[in-house]
Structure 1
Amino acid sequence: MNGSLHSSRDALEIKLRRGPAGLGFNIIGGVDQQYVVNDNGIYVSKIKQDGAAAQDGRLQEGDKILSINGIPLENRTHKSVVELFRTAGESVELRIQKKPFLEDQPTDSQPEHHSPSSYLEILALFAGVIVLLAVAYKMKK
């Protein structure tokens, strides 16, 4: 491992040393491109195979990055966070939250919402089955 790990309740602190290919991960999110509904946070979208993050092994896709070198990332644009990472130096301290969205889901994986017409179709099918059962019952008598 090329870093250290400190835990405090839900947040973890990970120190990474920038390698030849940088820190070795991509981010998604920010106030201008939410990844999780009602959350302006920054998330790890991809871990690059031979990058510093992959070699360290603790940062995972889906982890939320709370701060970089003590600077909070909440309510920042994606571009401003990219700039913070770009100018962060050789040794970077990340405060992260491991895959936090159990209740909230990424915007592209929200549960499917059905239109009222689909519920009417189900109700009509159910009513048809009841009518068929009633007719079959009367014919049997």
Structure 2
Amino acid sequence: MTSSKYSEEDNHFSVLLSPSRLLDKLLVVCPNVDYCEEVLTRCELEAHLLHRCRGAVTRCIKSSLGCTFQGPRSALQSHLWECPYRDQNAGKNPVTDGEVSTIEVQRQEGESLGISVVGGCDTPLVCTVIQEVFPDGAVAHDGRLMAGDQILEVNGEDLTQATHHQAVVILAQFFPVCRLTVYRERAEENRPIEKEEILKITLCKHRGRQLGIKLVGKRFVTLFTAVSIIVFSHPLVTNLVCMLMTTSLSISPK
């Protein structure tokens, strides 16, 4: 157990940090070197392999009809054009908690997806997340997506490395069939918190001074686990970032 202390005239804090957390900061290379050249911290590797790596093995969205394709996520889109079950329909493919799912959303001419998103690789959230589903859009009519779902890919376009603006531009494009690869977190309300994951900070707040922080999390409905705290130099920056990160996609395509 290591500790460090810092004090100033107006405030001070103490930090308790387990040595194992220091190892999590080590940089590693994605093991799927044939498809991915990502370099990231060790603590991010598991989530990367599960949700974002283009070399991760996935199944065809028509597997319930008998398609036996299994291959890297980057090859899925080209396979779908040649899949022998491409034109067969077995009903709507469900979005499963804790798994990467690929679904197809049908859109009418002039109909928008009807969602707003937050996040992007240039934001604290890193991923692109659905913030709201509007009742008059194609996504609402489809009925499978909800607020908090992460969008990984849109019609073959990778969103895991897209900025917020790039994600908005891609989602605003019109396709009669919008193929979305998404991830929905599994609810783990009773998940134990290990001591090595605890970071203890003590702040002394003086009268008239604001904390100047913003709380963001991957669950926007009822669960707020794995919350991150982003500290800004001034409280006004918090409000500005909040406005910039939210963009509505309910505008009809041109």
1:46 aligns with 2:132: yes
Counterpart in the other structure of 2:92: 4
Residues 74, 101 of structure 1: alpha-carbon distance in 2 compared, 3 angstrom cutoff = farther
Aligned length: 105
Counterpart in the other structure of 2:181: 95
1:17 aligns with 2:103: no
Counterpart in the other structure of 2:196: none
CA distance in structure 1 between the partners assigned to 2:166 and 2:119 by the alignment: 11
Query: Post-superposition shift, 1:6?
Result: 6.2
List alignment gaps of at least 5 residues for structure 2: 1-90, 192-215, 230-254
Residues 4, 69 of structure 1: alpha-carbon distance in 2 compared, 3 angstrom cutoff = farther
TM-score (norm. length: structure 1): 0.61
**Secondary structure of residue in 1 paired with 2:179:** strand
Residues 98, 7 of structure 1: alpha-carbon distance in 2 compared, 3 angstrom cutoff = closer
Residues 4, 76 of structure 1: alpha-carbon distance in 2 compared, 3 angstrom cutoff = same
Structure number with larger C-alpha Rg: 1
Query: Post-superposition shift, 1:27?
Result: 1.0
Residues 28, 100 of structure 1: alpha-carbon distance in 2 compared, 3 angstrom cutoff = farther
TM-score (norm. length: structure 2): 0.36
Residues 93, 47 of structure 1: alpha-carbon distance in 2 compared, 3 angstrom cutoff = same
Deviations along 1:25-70, one digit per CA (max 9) or x if unpaired, are 11111022233xxxx1100000001211111111010000110012
List alignment gaps of at least 5 residues for structure 1: 113-141
**Secondary structure of residue in 1 paired with 2:167:** helix
Root mean square deviation, CA, Å: 3.1
Query: Post-superposition shift, 1:76?
Result: 1.2
Residues 50, 32 of structure 1: alpha-carbon distance in 2 compared, 3 angstrom cutoff = same
Equivalent of residue 68 in structure 1, options 132, 144, 154: 154
1:77 aligns with 2:166: no
Whose RCO is larger (CA < 8 A, sep 6+)? 1
Code of the residue aligned with 1:16 in structure 2: it is: V
